[in-house]
């Protein structure tokens, strides 16, 4: 059996962590989307993650390792229509996660992603109201789309991010953790 790298395990709370969590949505088909809208969504949803990681990785490397957690989405593997740009960027985040995990494992840097499903956030509250729907309708739709029959909470996603960033996940890298109430299992 191989030797355990000297940088694992380390006292909790001493390893640097980067959580990449940014995203915008656009509601276009490929035909409706413009070059400018593609540039905008790729800039925020993908390139923002890339450049934050580019800045953090040398610091993590020089400190003996670290953890990066990217926030992707169930939309990295599913779609509901008219969200092609968002879905594409979140699929790219999944690929970025796997690639960075392979590239930086030797540096003691673990890279993982959480993929939230229907999570009730202020964004969803605002979007629901803009569509002329009630919050109860949102909750009913979320209930139909998950095995657990409810939307998730930001706190549930945060708990998964905290796990992936912690030393409790010291043997976890390159993974996508779906925080979706079983939506992708349906």
Pair of tokens at residue 162: 């905290």
Taking only the tens of pLDDT, the chain with its 186 residues reads: 344 444 444 445 578 999 999 999 999 999 999 999 999 999 999 999 999 999 999 999 999 999 999 999 999 999 999 999 999 999 999 999 999 999 999 999 999 999 999 999 998 899 899 999 999 999 999 899 999 999 999 999 999 999 999 999 999 999 999 999 999 999
Instruction: Report which of 147, 164, 137, 153 is spatially closest to residue 71, judged by C-alpha positions.
Output: 164
Cα gap 68→15, rounded to integer Å: 11
What is the rounded CA–CA span in Å between residue 49 and residue 129? 30
Q: Residue ranges per domain, the chain?
A: 17-185
Q: Show the tokens assigned to 73.
A: 């989405």
**Which of 178, 180, 127 minimizes the C-alpha distance to 149?**
180
Quote the CA–CA distance of 13 and 24 in Å, as a whole number: 31
β-strand partners of 178:
115
Is 86 a residue of the active site?
yes
The pLDDT of residue 13 = 54
Provide the whole-model pTM: 0.90
Predicted pLDDT at 11: 47
Catalytic residue (choose from 27, 49, 86, 138): 86
Please give the full DSSP string across the chain, using - where no structure is assigned: -PPPPTTSS--TT-S-EEEE---------TTT--HHHHHHHHIIIIIHHHHHHHHHHHHHHHTT-EEEEEE--GGGT---SS-HHHHHHHHHHHHHHHHHHHHHGGGTEEEEEEEE-SB--HHHHHHHHHTT--HHHHHHHHHHTSTTSS-B-HHHHHHHHHHHHSGGGTT--S-EEEESTTGGG-
Topology (CATH level 3) of domain 17-185: Rossmann fold (3.40.50)
One DSSP character per residue, 73-87 reads -GGGT---SS-HHHH
């Amino acid at each position: 059996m191989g030797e355990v790298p000297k940088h694992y395990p380390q006292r909790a709370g001493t390893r640097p962590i980067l959580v990449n969590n940014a995203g915008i949505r656009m509601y276009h088909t490929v035909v409706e989307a413009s070059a400018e809208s593609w540039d905008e969504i790729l800039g925020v949803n993908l390139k923002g993650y890339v450049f934050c990681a580019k800045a953090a990785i040398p610091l993590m490397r020089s400190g003996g390792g670290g953890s990066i957690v990217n926030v992707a989405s169930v939309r990295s593997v599913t779609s509901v229509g008219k969200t092609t740009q968002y879905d594409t960027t979140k699929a790219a985040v999944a690929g970025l996660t796997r690639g960075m995990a392979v590239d930086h494992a030797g540096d003691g840097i673990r890279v993982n992603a959480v993929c939230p499903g229907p999570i009730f956030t202020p964004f969803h509250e605002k979007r629901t109201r803009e569509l002329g729907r009630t919050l109860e309708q949102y909750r009913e739709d979320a209930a139909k789309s998950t095995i657990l029959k409810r939307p998730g909470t930001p706190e549930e996603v945060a708990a998964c991010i905290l796990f992936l960033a912690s030393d409790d996940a010291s043997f976890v890298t390159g993974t996508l953790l779906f925080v979706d109430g079983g939506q992708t299992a349906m």
